[in-house]
Amino acid sequence: MKHSKFKEFTGFTIILIITLIKNIINQSIPIYDNLIKKDCPSNLLKCVNSGICVDNYNKCPTPMNCGNELKKVNQYTCSKTDTFFESIKCPEYTCWNNQCVSDLNECPTMISCPPGYNKCHDNSCVINLDQCPKYMSCPKFIPVRCPNGDCRRNLEDCPSLIKCPENRPILCNDNSCKSTSLDCLFSAENTKCTGKSMVRCG
């Protein structure tokens, strides 16, 4: 009798677990879908790691990798704190650099690294994160980190960014536009710092 009840209880538990898993899966699909496609027009795809809207996943820029010691506070900034992050809500579309636009084609191009490379906090491209230059905080009187790495009092004071043409849509970290991220290999190797104490200029 006890064995029968145990068998019945076990069967009910299995059914309950299966039902729960199905519900989680069914709920997670639209959530994931929204994370990928949110803010992108129907004719564009959203890059998973950077949030950029593109017409081809090959155009997805390299996401900034802050490593274990820094916090990633937005798509272009690593920091030891996140107190200076300015959150902007745009009426239509918000570019990766917090710029408001009515057409995503107006957004500037985010810097990419060659395949197999990581993008450091200063847009350096390195194979291993321990090759990234030493992080330098912005001083208190200009606490906001601009998308190009400069420090300013607020985002409005940041310099203009580059928009690469359609035939050369990839922006390398030397500010040159290329056809593919593989073409950024020369730029990556010739713009990285040779010592941890060095600071890369924009």
151 vs 86: CA distance, rounded Å: 14
pLDDT of residue 21 exceeding 80: no
Residue 73 in tokens? 């506070």
pLDDT at 150: 85
101 vs 71: CA distance, rounded Å: 27
Greater model confidence, 73 or 24? 73
pLDDT at 179: 92
pLDDT of residue 13 exceeding 70: no
Burial class (CB in 10 A: 0-12, 13-18, 19+), 56: exposed
pTM: 0.68
Greater model confidence, 37 or 202? 202
Average pLDDT, integer, range 72-85: 72
pLDDT at 9: 46
- The domain locations on the chain are 61-202
pLDDT of residue 36 exceeding 50: no
pLDDT tens digit sequence for 126-171: 999 988 888 888 888 998 888 888 889 987 888 889 999 999 999 9
Band (35; pLDDT cuts 50, 70, 90): very low
Tell me what percent of the residues of the chain surpass a pLDDT of 90.
Answer: 20
Band (16; pLDDT cuts 50, 70, 90): very low
Buried residues in 30-52 as b, exposed as e (16+ CB within 10 A): eeeeeeeeeebeeeebbbeebbb
